[in-house]
Amino acid sequence: MSDAVAELSEGALAAPVIKRLSFLDRFLPVWIVLAMAIGIGLGRAIPSLNTHLNAVQVTSGTSLPIFIGLLVMMYPVLAKVRYDRLGTVTRDRRLLVASLVLNWLIGPAVMFTLAWLLLPDLPTYRTGLIIVGLARCIAMVLIWNDLSGGHREAAAVLVALNSLFQIVAFSLLGYFYLELLPKWLGLSTQGLHLSVWKIAETVAIFLGIPLLAGYLTRTIGERLRSREWYETKLLPRLGPFALYGLLYTIVILFALQGHTITSRPGDVARIALPLLCYFAIMWFGSFALGRSLGLAYDRTATLAFTAAGNNFELAIAVCIGVFGVTSGEALAGVVGPLIEVPVLVALVYVSLWAKRRFFDPLATAEGAP
């Protein structure tokens, strides 16, 4: 969302984690709550807002204002990805294979299980959470990785891989977890009308377009100037726009859903519970796996945070594009970043504690296995 944390020295790692977050990221839950409040107030002040927003619609039946907001939300995220790092994927096969298994097999399965166990009577929220589980983290993880002293190059490679995998795998996994698997298990999906092509179209638009734009921006920017200029000058200017796009989308969503949300505040808490369980299971499980594989601390931290984080921007875009801005699925996607930031900040502290407790403090990123 905002720019990645600057290069961290050993001395910087000793500083309080929260102080090393940028101002925007540090108070992200506050901004989200404010956006929710503004949206609810706006919806009450302008009852006909939905009619005005839908006056001009673009592909997928999404109104033009929402369409623009979603693209603005995704573009800076994908402009940060270091696509050239894909050439280094074979350097540590243990890390690569473990990350792919955790992200594309274990993660979606864990979220599917939690959603059905904890939200059996709330199908729209359950569907939204399953979609969140399919959207693997591609940007915010760079912040948690740096704060915890994770391996920067490995994180860049895994983020680039996740970005490309989502183009191909998201719609197929969506069909599997939302339609095929529930039928095999005898679970009721009554009322769920889903088209795998609709998901594929939405992903192609809201991930494909900003992915291409992000790739071209980095490639052209580095070629015309330099990588240092791109990462220290341009990205800090682009980064905040992802947060602006997210907050703008939240304002619109809550303006249209305000009455439903205020009449059922307990629903937000119920959505938060499986998310909290998901973060705990994925992070601690992935950290333990990295440790058991004999990975050095920096790679273990990278494995844990890339497995635990999610691409909420894409999940929100898919929920809105497929189910509509007033859907329960979209609301479930919005609750995600509200919960993710404080939880993963806490896990950064846990990671740094585990480094002191379980790893050789003299081991370095370059010399570690």
The answer as to whether 161 is a domain residue is yes
Nearest to 260 by CA among 39, 69, 61: 39
Is position 3 within any domain?
Answer: no
**Distance, C-alpha 77 to centroid of its chain:** 10
How far is Cα 182 from Cα 336, in angstroms, rounded to an integer? 23
d(CA 178, CA 196): 10
Look-up of token digits 């591609």 = 138
Question: Is 14 within the bounds of a domain?
Answer: no
Q: Identify whether the C-beta of residue 205 lies closer than 8 Å to the C-beta of residue 329.
A: no
Q: Give residue 323's domain range.
A: 28-357
Asked whether residue 74 is domain-assigned, the answer is yes
Residue 111 lies in a domain: yes
| Distance from C-alpha of 27 to C-alpha of 168, rounded to nearest angstrom | 34
Q: Which residues contact 148 (CB under 8 A, 6 or more apart)?
A: 301, 305, 348, 351, 352, 355
Residues 42-63: tens digit of each pLDDT: 888 887 777 777 777 776 567 7
Residue range 65-71: average pLDDT?
83
Predicted confidence (pLDDT) per residue in 295-329, tens digit = 999 999 999 999 998 888 888 888 888 888 778 88
For the stretch 99-120, pLDDT in tens is 999 999 999 999 999 999 999 9
Residue 281, pLDDT above cutoff 80:
yes
Q: Does any domain span residue 325?
A: yes
Q: What phi and psi values does residue 63 have, to the nearest 5 degrees?
A: -65, 155
pTM of the model: 0.82
pLDDT in tens, 21-42: 677 777 777 888 888 889 888 8
CATH number for the domain harbouring residue 274: 1.20.1530.20
C-alpha–C-alpha distance, residues 359 and 98, integer Å: 19
194 domain residue, yes or no: yes
Quick check: is 228 in a domain?
Answer: yes
Q: What is the pLDDT of residues 210-229, one digit of tens each?
A: 889 988 999 999 999 999 99
Three-state DSSP at 324 gives: coil
As for how many domains the chain has, the answer is: 1
Amino acid residing at 322 = V
Cβ–Cβ under 8 Å, residues 203 and 138 = no
Residue-wise pLDDT for 228-261, tens only, equals 999 899 998 988 888 888 888 888 877 877 666 6
